[in-house]
Structure 1
Amino acid sequence: MNAVTASVEREADRLTELDSPIGDADHGSNLLRGFLAVRAALEAQPPSSPGAVLQLAGRTLIGVVGGASGPLYGTLLRRTGKELGDAAEVSDEELRKALYAGVGAVAQLGGAAPGDKTMLDALVPGVGALSTSYRAAAVAAESGALATVPLQARKGRASYLGERSIGHQDPGATSAALLLAALADTAEAVDAP
């Protein structure tokens, strides 16, 4: 979560720029506020397991972030954390399965699917590539975010623009790619000799 927060801190302005033509121009600032609150919550009450970390992060995002981002990211993290349970350590495979459940919960909440120009366009291929490696997941998520440029939004705020949403990279897919890149960076740092 600290790596995600640092990434959002670096990229908040870019996320807001991406959101300006097709959204409310607040995606970066909302996520920054939310993940700074997550960092503070985790420091104030350090959870005892990976699942508890994700559940606390999810609850915090839902409580702090307005718009769709808070409930969607909050659902992703809470559901993933719930799937992990109270185990003190989780395997790569357990995390992958838990993230699949989290992505499924996001799809259900938002009523979206890949190709709708949403965060799912990065999350679905990213989580799908986790069976290869964390870096493959990050690359797949980034490719998914970039692939939203020619799409017409069918869900979310951008869908109100119809064809005018074509030609813009989806900010939610972009921030989802940041999340998976932070996961890859953290995994690589842990595995480094």
Structure 2
Amino acid sequence: DADHGINMDRGFTAVMDKLPGVEDKDIGTILKTAGMALVSPVGGAGGPLYGTFFMRAGTAVPNKYELTNGDLVALFEAALDGVVQRGRANLRDKTMVDAITPAVDELRKASAEGVDTVEALRRATIAAEEGMKGTIPMKALKGRASYLGERSIGHQDPGATSSYLIFKAFLDTVSTHT
């Protein structure tokens, strides 16, 4: 929805303002800095949820300047666990969890198969997109959308959408820098 998009834009503008100060730091520090920057400017539940996502992700990969597939799995598992813990959402509640969970599952599979990092992220991004689209027929059980009840059916969840876009951004960045 527009409110979520505006808040996410505001939050990631704050992230971009903070990144020059940590560009020479390890990936964990960069992710934690992004998480801290997201908490305040993003309204509603989005700030704490995405802040937790990035802070937990950063905590999972301390002192790393390059990431293996195993690191990516640990990073996104920690991010997902943080979001589930903070938001108390489950799969099929029509939330960001519906995009993140299948992406993490796909990262685990790709890592076990030994595919390269770009391919692992490509598969995870496809899974996140499928999870995002899968929210359309769902009735929202968490968040503001849950107040709409049956009227939430037929609309894509904004949090699942922004979560998919985060996976896509990871893929685009890694694809460009490998």
Normalising by structure 2, what TM-score?
0.90
Counterpart code for 2:38? L
Counterpart code for 1:104? D
Number of aligned residues: 168
Partner secondary structure for residue 168 of structure 1: coil
1:168 aligned to 155, 162, 171, which one? Answer: 155
What is the percent sequence identity of the aligned residues? 47
**Structure 1 unaligned blocks of 5 or more:** 1-18, 20-24
Structure 2 equivalent of residue 136 of structure 1 = 123
Structure 1 equivalent of residue 135 of structure 2 = 148
Q: CA offset at residue 78 of structure 1?
A: 0.1
For 1:145 and 1:45, locate their aligned partners in 2 and report how far apart those are by CA, in whole Å: 31
Normalising by structure 1, what TM-score?
0.83
Partner secondary structure for residue 177 of structure 2: helix
- Give the 4+ runs in structure 1 shifted more than 6 A: none
Q: CA offset at residue 46 of structure 1?
A: 2.9
For 1:147 and 1:173, locate their aligned partners in 2 and report how far apart those are by CA, in whole Å: 9
2:46 aligned to 69, 92, 105, which one? Answer: 69
Structure 1 equivalent of residue 104 of structure 2 = 127
Structure 2 equivalent of residue 80 of structure 1 = 57
Structure 2 equivalent of residue 34 of structure 1 = 11
Counterpart code for 2:60? E
Partner secondary structure for residue 186 of structure 1: helix
How much is the aligned-residue C-alpha RMSD, in angstroms? 1.2
Deviations 1:127-186 (A, max 9, x none): 211242110111100010001000000000001111111010001101100000111112
Alignment of 1:36-115 (within 5 A): 36-46=13-23, 48-115=25-92
2:35 touches 2:50 (CA, 8 Å); kept in 1?
A: yes
Q: Quick check: 34-43 or 86-95, which moved more? A: 86-95
2:22 touches 2:29 (CA, 8 Å); kept in 1?
A: no
